Structure 1
Amino acid sequence: MSHPSYPPAPQNDAGAGIPQVPAAPYAYGRQFQGGAQPGYQPGPDSGPYGSPVGAPAKSFMTTWILALLLGSFGVDRFYLGKIGTGIAKLLTAGGFGIWSIVDLIITLTGNARDKQGRPLAGYPENKKKAWIITIVVWFAGLIVGIVSTVLSLTFVAAAVQGAGTDAPVLPSASQEAPAPSSGTASDDGSLTVTMSEGNTVKVSLLNSGYTTEIPGMSYMKPTRGGFLLLEVSWEATAGSSYASPSNFEAFDADGAKGEEIYVEEGLGGLPSGDVAAGEMQRGVIAFDIKNGPTTVVISDDFGDKAATFTLTPAN
């Protein structure tokens, strides 16, 4: 019997009778031509595991300036993205100042980090300058604090000393003893004045002077030649009365009424207020009036003339 003849099986280098495996497709229909396949290469803005890093690191200079000037308000921590601790720092006034100093030192030593834990940008090249400026600011603040304390103590001492002064300083001048035309004169030249029913006071002229400038009130300028200054005492001898510079009026030799000038109590002016029996007020009253013989009128509690006295200030 005869057999049909078949073509011989294809041969290859790997062995006889084994067909070759076709090449696998690669990259959109192209066949892989050999060589290693390219691996993933992270970009410059990626983290160590290929995740995006995000915004650049926070600035050291900005953080330092905020910590130095606004650390008590937690602004430096808000800038670094640490909102929670920033609020806590704000509500405690910078941890009563201690937290602010600690954060500033941490920033200056390069140990500050943002919310992602990254170091601050620009620290190596700016740290020396930041330290110098911080030390200068601290010393300047210390000096200002010392000067302010010294000035405050000086002002307080001056105020206490001024409050303890019994008699105001007046220009020296000669004077005549009060010569009452009404009221009752005492042996020492004082006047006993009836202010209202059952209420009497003893009014004494302690000193007087005529000047063109009231001590401590140089801004006041006379319009009638000068100022008549009278230092008086007001002592309640029976009942009570209201002492006030407005209880006094002054008239020059022509009968013209002098303008009353208010002298502050801090400058020795006569205090206004109720005076009980046995108590006394003492101070200065002033009038813008022509120099010469002057009549001083004392009014009672109803505004009526209760007593008068005359004097001639020194020229």
Structure 2
Amino acid sequence: MSYPSYPPAPENGPGAGVPPVPNAPAPYGSRYQGGPNTGYQPTPDSGPYGTPAGGGTSKSFVVTWILSLLLGGLGVDRFYLGKIGTGIAKLLTAGGFGIWSIVDLIITLTGNARDKQGRPLAGYPENKKKAWIITIVVWLAGLIIGIISAVLSLTLFAAAVQGQKTPVPVPPSASQEAPLPSSGAASDANSFTVTVSSGDTVKVGIVDSLYTEEILDMPYLEPANGGFLLMEVSWQTATGTSFATATNFEAYDADGKEGELLFLTESMGSFPPGNVAAGQSVQGIIGFDIKKGPTTIVVNDLYGEKAASFTLTPAG
């Protein structure tokens, strides 16, 4: 049995002539929807279009540290880091009068230095300990050299000043026993007896005296009152026991101003301190920084009280 054939549906019927629905767009960098992503994936350290952020590599910590240590005052470390402006400022100010150079060196040693792009310096962790040790050694060596240079300079200066002054002779040494010269005579007598404590008496004598503006063996002393009075004194215990010392003596100028007691060296025959038994004696030089002219010499007892005094007009 045959069936009649029907003509095809007209093309303008329902669903006829409508284009197919396209697939959803594929993700960026994929060729097909759901296919593998073959495009460039940016990283946090990358700049736009896949270029490295900042470009290039960071500067070396070792190079920066050496330049800062040796040439920091010239700003060379900042020039190396690409900081031209501050490098010029550092150069013109001699490293900020030294302060800026020290600050930059410490910043570098603590790992806080950055290049022009703000990146940390390469090689810091593995070299920081060595850099600190070398820096401290260099600083200590510089300090020691500075101290030695200062001492040598002062020594040379003192020698030059001493060479320009005319030497003045020193009074006779303590070993000499000469009579009191007329130019250094006390107004009353050459010697006198002083009671220094109950039952203890001493005989004090002025062997020699001199006034000078310089002491040859002590050129570093500068007189504050015009010059120095030097007396050679004998101290003999008459009865009991006494304690001899230069601090038993005081000196006053014509205006009543007290002279400053000098601590003379043994090479000059300074007055030796110590206990002196009856019949024994000591002799030595006592000095005062005092104005030239008639001088009142006071001898104190064991308790620091005035026991005797006399007027002395020294030679010189």
| TM-score, L = length of structure 1 | 0.44
